[in-house]
C-alpha cells in the first residue's frame, strides 16, 4: 500500500508538471514522434517499386502496398518468473485498385515462442488469425462504407491498439474488458469540416458471425461514435455508444474521451460505463495518460518520452475497485522502432491487472 501511495503521488506531481510545461510551448512545435516522420527515411525506388519505412513496400502501379510489424515482449509479473516472448508478426496488405476503392488485410502470426530465462523453458504454439480484413468504398471525405472485420470504434486506444503505436506495453483495463476489440459487419463513416474544425462520425454494427470467435465474443452489436477536433488536431473530444448482444442478453456501453497536445506534451483520457445482462462485462472505469518528450529540453535524449497513466476501475458490485498506476519510458529513436519499459502498481492485483515490470521492442516495416 505504501508503494502504491508513493506511485500515486508521483503520478499526480507528473501530471501537474506536464500541464505547466505544456503551457509554455507553441502549438507549432515538433510533432508527436509516435506518429512517425513522413519525410524520413527518404523514399527508395526500385524499378517503379517504392519503399518507405513504416509505410511499407508499394508495388509499382498495381495498387498494392505490403508492410508488417512485430513485437518482442519482456515481462516480469510480481510472484512469477520473467518471460521473453515473440508476441506476433503481423503482415499488412493494402490494395487500392481505384481512388474510391480499397481493401485491407492484417494477418497475425501469434504465439511464436515464449522463453522463461530462469528455467530455460521454451514453448511455441503458433496460430494464424485475420486481425483485420475489410473492403471500403469512398464517396469522398463525407461518406465512406466499410464491410468486413475492423477495430471497434470506441474511444481512442482501440482504434490503433498495436504495440508499435502505443505509449505503454500494457493496455488500459477498459479497452481489454469493456468491449470486443473487433467488429465483423459494416460501418458508415466520414468527416465534415464545420467552422474550421473536423467532425468525424461512424455508425457500425456486427451482423455476421465474427471471424475467429472466442468464448467471450458477442454475437451481434450496433454502435456509433462522434469526434470533434481542432483545425491543427492539437485537441479532440469524442463520445461512443455500443450495444452488444450475446445469447439473447444485451449490454450497453457509453463512453467519452479527450486528447490534448502542445509541443512535447500529450494528454489523453477515456471513461466508459458498461451495464446490462451479459455476465462479467459490467464495469465503470477510466484512465488519464500523459507523455512528455524529454528531448524538448535535452537534445541528446531526442525520441525519449516519460509516460504515466492512472486508471480507476469499478467492476461489478461483488468485486473490489482497482487503482492502477503506470510509470515508464518510451524511446522512439527512429519512426520504425519503439522500445518501452514501465512499472505497474495495483492496489488490488488480479489476473487481469497484475503488478510488475512490462517492456517491449516493436518494429514497423
Per residue in 161-196, pLDDT (tens digit) is 999 999 999 999 999 888 999 999 999 999 999 988
Q: Which residue has the cell 463513416?
A: 189
What pLDDT is attached to residue 318?
56
Partners of 160 in the β-ladder:
none
**Is residue 270 scored above 90 in pLDDT?**
yes
User: Quick check: 306 and 291 in contact, CB under 8 A?
Assistant: yes
Q: Cis check for the bond before 110: say yes or no (omega within 30 of 0).
A: no
User: Quick check: 329 and 312 in contact, CB under 8 A?
Assistant: no
**Is residue 108 scored above 90 in pLDDT?**
yes
Q: Which residue has the cell 506476433?
A: 88
Asked whether the CA dihedral 211, 350, 314, 159 is positive or negative, the reply is: negative
Banded model confidence at residue 14, pLDDT cuts 50, 70, 90: very low
Q: Among 3-7, 150-154, 237-241, 357-361, which stretch is predicted with the lowest mean pLDDT? A: 3-7
Q: What is the percent of the chain where pLDDT is above 90?
A: 72
> What is the rounded average pLDDT of the residues 352-362?
94
Q: How far apart are the first and last CA of the chain?
A: 43
What pLDDT is attached to residue 43?
39
What pLDDT is attached to residue 34?
40
What pLDDT is attached to residue 342?
97
Query: In whole numbers, what is the pLDDT of the chain averaged over residues?
Result: 86
Strands 337-346 and 322-334: antiparallel
Q: Which residue has the cell 510489424?
A: 69
On the 0-12 / 13-18 / 19+ scale of CB atoms within 10 A, 193 is exposed
What class does CATH assign to 2-44+139-364? mainly beta
What is the CB neighbour count within 10 angstroms for residue 225?
23
What pLDDT is attached to residue 61?
85
What cell does 9 get?
503521488
Banded model confidence at residue 33, pLDDT cuts 50, 70, 90: very low
What pLDDT is attached to residue 315?
79
> What is the rounded average pLDDT of the residues 279-302?
93
Domain spans, the chain = 2-44+139-364
> What is the rounded average pLDDT of the residues 266-271?
98
What pLDDT is attached to residue 81?
95
What pLDDT is attached to residue 1?
47
Strands 304-314 and 265-276: unpaired
What pLDDT is attached to residue 317?
56
Q: pLDDT tens for residues 129-165?
A: 999 999 999 999 999 999 999 999 999 999 999 999 9
What is the CB neighbour count within 10 angstroms for residue 242?
27
How many helices and strands in the chain, by DSSP H and E?
2, 20
> What is the rounded average pLDDT of the residues 302-325?
87
What pLDDT is attached to residue 42?
38
Q: Among 187-191, 198-202, 316-320, which stretch is predicted with the lowest mean pLDDT? A: 316-320
What pLDDT is attached to residue 348?
82
What pLDDT is attached to residue 41?
35
What pLDDT is attached to residue 38?
33
3-state secondary structure of 365: coil
- Provide the whole-model pTM: 0.84
Q: What are phi and psi of 109, to 5 degrees?
A: -100, 100
Amino acid at each position: 500500500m505504501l508503494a502504491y501511495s508513493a506511485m500515486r503521488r508521483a503520478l499526480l506531481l507528473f501530471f501537474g508538471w506536464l500541464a505547466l510545461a505544456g503551457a509554455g510551448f507553441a502549438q507549432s512545435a515538433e510533432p508527436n514522434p509516435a506518429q512517425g516522420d513522413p519525410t524520413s527515411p527518404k523514399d527508395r525506388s526500385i524499378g517503379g517499386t517504392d519503399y518507405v519505412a513504416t509505410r511499407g513496400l508499394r508495388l509499382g502501379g498495381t495498387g498494392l502496398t505490403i508492410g508488417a510489424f512485430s513485437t518482442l515482449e519482456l515481462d516480469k509479473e510480481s510472484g512469477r518468473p520473467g518471460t521473453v516472448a515473440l508476441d506476433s508478426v503481423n503482415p499488412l496488405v493494402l490494395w487500392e485498385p481505384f481512388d474510391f476503392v480499397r481493401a485491407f488485410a492484417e494477418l497475425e502470426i501469434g504465439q511464436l515462442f515464449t522463453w522463461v530465462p530462469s528455467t530455460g523453458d521454451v514453448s511455441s504454439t503458433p496460430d494464424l488469425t485475420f486481425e483485420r480484413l475489410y473492403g471500403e468504398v469512398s464517396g469522398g471525405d463525407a461518406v465512406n462504407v466499410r464491410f468486413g472485420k475492423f477495430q471497434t470504434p470506441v474511444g481512442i486506444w482501440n482504434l490503433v491498439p498495436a504495440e508499435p503505436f502505443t505509449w505503454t506495453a500494457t493496455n488500459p483495463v477498459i479497452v481489454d474488458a469493456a468491449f470486443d476489440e473487433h467488429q465483423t459487419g459494416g460501418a458508415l463513416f466520414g468527416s465534415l469540416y464545420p467552422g474550421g474544425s473536423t467532425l468525424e462520425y461512424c455508425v457500425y454494427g456486427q451482423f455476421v458471425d465474427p471471424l475467429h470467435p472466442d468464448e467471450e465474443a458477442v454475437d451481434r452489436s450496433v454502435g456509433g461514435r462522434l469526434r470533434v477536433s481542432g483545425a491543427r488536431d492539437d485537441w479532440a473530444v469524442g463520445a461512443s455508444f455500443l450495444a452488444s448482444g450475446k445469447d439473447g442478453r444485451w449490454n450497453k456501453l457509453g463512453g467519452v474521451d479527450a486528447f490534448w497536445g502542445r509541443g512535447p506534451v500529450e494528454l489523453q483520457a477515456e471513461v466508459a460505463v458498461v451495464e446490462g445482462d451479459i455476465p462479467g462485462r459490467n464495469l465503470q472505469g477510466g484512465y488519464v495518460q500523459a507523455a512528455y518528450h524529454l528531448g524538448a529540453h535535452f537534445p541528446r535524449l531526442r525520441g525519449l518520452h516519460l509516460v504515466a497513466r492512472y486508471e480507476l476501475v469499478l467492476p461489478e458490485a461483488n468485486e473490489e475497485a482497482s487503482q492502477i498506476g503506470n510509470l515508464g519510458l518510451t524511446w522512439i529513436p527512429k519512426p520504425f522502432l519503439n522500445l518501452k519499459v514501465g512499472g505497474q502498481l495495483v492496489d488490488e492485483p488480479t489476473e487481469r491487472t497484475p503488478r510488475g515490470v512490462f517492456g517491449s521492442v516493436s518494429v514497423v516495416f
